[in-house]
Amino acid sequence: MSSDRSASSIAPAHPFFSNRWSSAATLVVAGALQTLTFSPFHFWWLGPVSILLILLVSLPLPAKKLFTAGWLTGVGLFASGATWVYISISEFGNTPVAVSVLLTVIFVAGLALFPALAFWFWGKLAKVSAWRRLVLFPAIWILGDWLRGWLLTGFPWLYLGTAHTDGPLAGLAPVVGVHGLTLWIADSGAALFAAGWLIIRQRHAGAAVVAVIALIPWLVAPALNRVQWTEISTEPTSVAAMQGNIPQQIKWDPDFLKEQIVTYLGMTNPYWDTDLILWPETAIPIPQDEAGKIIEHIEENLGDESTLITGIPWHGYSEQTGGFTWHNSITAFGNGEGIYHKQKLVPFGEYVPLENVLRGLIGFFDLPMSSFTPGPENQGSLEVNGASVMPFICYEVAYPDFLARNSVSADLLLTISNDGWFGDSVGPLQHLQIARMRALETGRYMIRGTNNGVTAIINHKGQMTARIPQFERGVLTGEVFRASGSTPYMSTASWPVLTLALILIVFVRERVIPKN
């Protein structure tokens, strides 16, 4: 009879993976291995290995058990790669340790529901056919990632493709974007599984064909990395970016506001004639309508051809809301102009869901400046010495399609952040790697300014040309170059990859589900 009768008929589980506890542990470990592919570890080759382990456990499972398999995978991924939120909750949110641990556990368990739902859907599409499951798995993984990056403002973090800023698939990023890279990593893991199964059954020719097909992108991508998708100007723009390393504990303390401003002004004194001067997110920790004297001082000292860009909260009447509101903003002064209001706000850090219920319960729900309003869509870029500079504030740089869509007409990209919220964890280094992937996808230089690291200049290939290490006060100087034109990914965003995933689902899914 057809092998479609049972999911285990084509992929019988090894006794180790059939055991309830060892299989659960394997899924958690497989999820955790993905964290090791990202900065600061950079073991990108563990991506396909992780997928292989997931398939060894989950492919033979009955459909009704796939939800749990996905959830365990998610727990491994997010417990290892995203628990840096504990630092902002506990250390800077003035929240008791027990409550901080509980909130972190809820955070991880909640995020793990995304792969759980994806795996549940996977089981619905292919209840009994193992080969259909194998073909569908990369598509399911991608759709789970996409949903996680969109639903409830999204958490577009820990995408497997991001690991390849320094990996062999980097050359594909300007063509297919981070989701396309993730799709092929998942395909590679599935190919490893298929090739192993074929070898066990003495089907060596089939295994060789699968291996060759799986290797093609890994061989083509390095060649694509030499392609210049955008035209890079030969005329440099000089940059001076200030990393103040202001302790997070005093960042919003009124007694230290003057000291912070004096720090940044003092660091800038030797650089007033630089083309572009960058201060990080909320470097001026008072709203622009109260910072008149500071702004006047900046404009009086700037050179005739110089622009200073800084993070500064905005408070005023908003036509968008029909009242007075707060925005987390970035503004250009001097030989430049423009203001940008952050659109992608961080839950609890910049706004509080169910505010009327949660405000006042614990310190974490009353963080300073947690009452921002999202900025309007389709905001223009900043103008700097005749160049179009598209800014992104902190978390926004993690949204691949959002950044690609808003950068089409930009000459340069710029992002500011305050990763001090996450202390000496892997979070800020992951954030830097994400910014590098965005520069690679768009073929544009990116200037990254942070409070306590990592401040960096990233070129159009996603490589850092200059940086200041974390937790050091310093000034980063260097040059950036304008870019024109678009990469293929900027023209299409992730739609070709998502469309391919949907096509696979339509044509590979089981049309008729046999009765049990």
Task: Report the 10 Å Cβ neighbour count for 26.
Answer: 22
Question: For the CA atoms of 56, 61, 67, 69, what is the dihedral angle to 10 degrees?
Answer: -30
Whether the predicted pLDDT of 475 surpasses 70: yes
Burial group, residue 318, by CB count within 10 angstroms (0-12, 13-18, 19+):
middle
Concatenated DSSP letters of 169-188: TGGGHHHHHHHHHHHHHHHH
For residues 188-209, give the mean pLDDT: 93
Catalytic residue among 251, 342, 344, 461: 342
Whether the predicted pLDDT of 125 surpasses 50: yes
DSSP 3-state of 233: strand
- Distance in Å from the first CA to the final CA of the chain: 16
Highest-confidence range of 4-18, 192-206, 307-321, by mean pLDDT? 192-206
Q: What is the pTM of this model?
A: 0.93
What per-residue confidence (pLDDT) applies to 10? 46
- 165 or 130: whose pLDDT is higher? 165
For residues 10-14, give the mean pLDDT: 55
What per-residue confidence (pLDDT) applies to 246? 93
Alpha helices, DSSP H, located in 82-172: 85-90, 97-111, 113-125, 130-148
For residues 461-479, give the mean pLDDT: 97
> Rounded to an integer, what distance in angstroms lies between the CA atom of residue 157 and that of residue 437?
12
Whether the predicted pLDDT of 1 surpasses 90: no
For residues 238-264, give the mean pLDDT: 91
> Rounded to an integer, what distance in angstroms lies between the CA atom of residue 492 and that of residue 242?
35
Whether the predicted pLDDT of 365 surpasses 90: no
- pLDDT confidence bin for 6, thresholds 50/70/90: very low
Whether the predicted pLDDT of 73 surpasses 50: yes
Please confirm, yes or no, whether 231 is among the known catalytic residues. Answer: no
What per-residue confidence (pLDDT) applies to 14? 64
For residues 132-144, give the mean pLDDT: 96
* Residue 282 C-beta-side C-alpha neighbours within 13 Å: 25
Burial group, residue 290, by CB count within 10 angstroms (0-12, 13-18, 19+):
exposed
Please confirm, yes or no, whether 377 is among the known catalytic residues. Answer: no
Residues facing 384 on adjacent strands: 336, 387
Whether the predicted pLDDT of 3 surpasses 90: no
| % of the chain surpassing 90 pLDDT | 78
Catalytic residue among 281, 350, 396, 441: 281
Please confirm, yes or no, whether 342 is among the known catalytic residues. Answer: yes
Task: Report the 10 Å Cβ neighbour count for 4.
Answer: 17
Identity (one letter) of the amino acid at 371?
S
Average pLDDT, the chain: 91
Whether the predicted pLDDT of 368 surpasses 60: no
Catalytic residue among 127, 251, 350, 394: 394
Whether the predicted pLDDT of 5 surpasses 50: no
pLDDT in tens, 497-508: 999 999 999 999
Q: For 24-38, 159-173, 342-356, which range has the lowest pLDDT when averaged over its residues?
A: 342-356
What per-residue confidence (pLDDT) applies to 93? 76
What per-residue confidence (pLDDT) applies to 2? 39
Residues 439 and 413 sit within 8 Å (Cβ to Cβ): yes
What per-residue confidence (pLDDT) applies to 52? 97
* Residue 477 C-beta-side C-alpha neighbours within 13 Å: 9
What per-residue confidence (pLDDT) applies to 89? 86
Whether the predicted pLDDT of 12 surpasses 90: no
